[in-house]
Amino acid sequence: MEAAVILNQDKRDRGEVAAALADAGVAARIEWVDGGAIRERAESAVEAGAKLVIVGGGDGSVSSAAQALAGTDATLGILPLGTLNHLARDLGLPATLAATAQLIAAGHTRTIDVAEVNGRTFVNNSAIGLYPLMVVDREAQQHRLGRSKRLAMLVASVRTLARFHHQRLTLRADGGEARIDTPLLFVGNNDYQLAFPAAGRRDKLDDGRLCVMVMRKKGVPGFLAAVSRALLGIPRPDDMVRLDDVQTLKVDSGRSTITLAIDGETVAMKPPLEFTIRPGALKVIAP
């Protein structure tokens, strides 16, 4: 088996990855690139005829590769080298590099959904409101102060809550329309669980539906209480509105741009935002 391998240069040593793939019998052409170049390199690999593109990195790296591979005949192999690795976890990928390389060598594939917002693919979720502000703050701390991702996110959470505010949005889905003030709009690729111990996990990645959740308007104490209740599995009807069976969602705003968090990274887009689901658009290596 021969594969194009693209590694985020901020992640694990190239020699360790090369050795794991070689031990598993995977012939690899390894490229070591900046995270911002992953999509371009994946596109080039597909154009050159690669049938298997292996990406090593976190969810942002995987999302960039999915942008290039969705809708093509190429298969995505994932080496989960990031901090959280949400998609790898929901796919049931092994925890070790050696076991993941063996899985890739076995070659078992499945198709999963991807979601899009204004043509930008995401494999996990997108959010508007408080969370993107936290991500912006976290990234600034990591860049300026060299803080770990977890510590920077903790500090960013406290600072963002100190300047708590709501987003005024217009939502259109399945012929209905609503104007809302919310601290958080969450759009997931398939349904997300909220309660511990499965908080943030998905049981399915091929259900063909967006997971749309809207936090009701609240102050800081009410927001924190609502999040706590959701994680404990005891939400109240006035905490969160969940929109079911959504395949397309349009989000508009009076602002010239909206900042979103997309698979843990931030991007500014001009409204309206068009969220859609693409059922079975991505072929991946998985158990």
Q: Name the domain boundary from 43, 75, 107.
A: 107
Q: Quick one: 143 and 267 in the same domain?
A: yes
Q: Quick one: 139 and 251 in the same domain?
A: yes
Q: Quick one: 93 and 163 in the same domain?
A: no
Specify the pLDDT at position 144.
75
What does pLDDT average to over the chain?
86
Domain contains 234 = yes
Domain contains 85 = yes
CB-CB contact of 32 with 12 (8 Å): no
Domain count within the chain:
2
- Alpha-carbon gap, residue 25 to 104, rounded angstroms: 10
- Alpha-carbon gap, residue 53 to 75, rounded angstroms: 6
Strand partners for 250 = 172, 274
Domain contains 116 = no
Q: Quick one: 129 and 95 in the same domain?
A: no
Q: Name the domain boundary from 107, 134, 160.
A: 107
Domain contains 141 = yes
Which has the minimum average pLDDT: 103-107, 148-152, 163-167, 234-238? Answer: 163-167
Q: How many CB atoms lie within 10 A of CB 122?
A: 26
- Alpha-carbon gap, residue 236 to 229, rounded angstroms: 8
- Give me the CATH number covering residue 163: 2.60.200.40
Stronger pLDDT, 200 or 107, i.e. the higher one: 107
Residue 9 has pLDDT above 70, yes or no: yes
In the block, tokens 């298969």 appear at 75
The average pLDDT across 11-33 equals: 85
Angle, nearest 10°, between helix axes 149-162 and 220-232?
140
Q: Quick one: 129 and 98 in the same domain?
A: no
CB-CB contact of 126 with 262 (8 Å): yes
The average pLDDT across 163-187 equals: 85
Q: Quick one: 88 and 149 in the same domain?
A: no
Specify the pLDDT at position 106.
94
Q: Quick one: 66 and 127 in the same domain?
A: no
CA 283 to chain CA centroid, Å, is: 16
Q: Quick one: 103 and 126 in the same domain?
A: no
Specify the pLDDT at position 142.
65
Question: For the whole model, what pTM was predicted?
Answer: 0.86
CB-CB contact of 113 with 277 (8 Å): yes
Stronger pLDDT, 244 or 276, i.e. the higher one: 276
Specify the pLDDT at position 229.
75
Distance of CA 196 to CAs 16, 58, 193, 233, Å? Answer: 34, 23, 8, 7
CB-CB contact of 202 with 115 (8 Å): no
Distance of CA 146 to CAs 29, 51, 137, 138, 149, Å? Answer: 31, 38, 13, 10, 9
Domain contains 117 = no
3 state DSSP class of 39: helix
The average pLDDT across 250-265 equals: 92
Q: Quick one: 66 and 201 in the same domain?
A: no
Residue 98 has pLDDT above 90, yes or no: yes
Residue 69: pLDDT band by 50, 70, 90 thresholds? very high
Domain contains 95 = yes
Q: Quick one: 72 and 205 in the same domain?
A: no
Where in the sequence is the domain holding 103, given as residue range(s)? 2-107
Q: Quick one: 190 and 274 in the same domain?
A: yes
Residue 64 has pLDDT above 90, yes or no: yes
- Alpha-carbon gap, residue 121 to 123, rounded angstroms: 7
Domain contains 130 = yes
CB-CB contact of 100 with 255 (8 Å): no
Specify the pLDDT at position 175.
77
Specify the pLDDT at position 256.
95
Strand partners for 181 = 168
Q: Quick one: 148 and 76 in the same domain?
A: no
Q: Name the domain boundary from 53, 79, 107.
A: 107
Domain contains 115 = no
CB-based contacts of 179, cutoff 8 Å, min separation 6: 168, 169, 170, 171
Distance of CA 194 to CAs 64, 198, 227, Å? Answer: 26, 7, 9
- Give me the CATH number covering residue 41: 3.40.50.10330
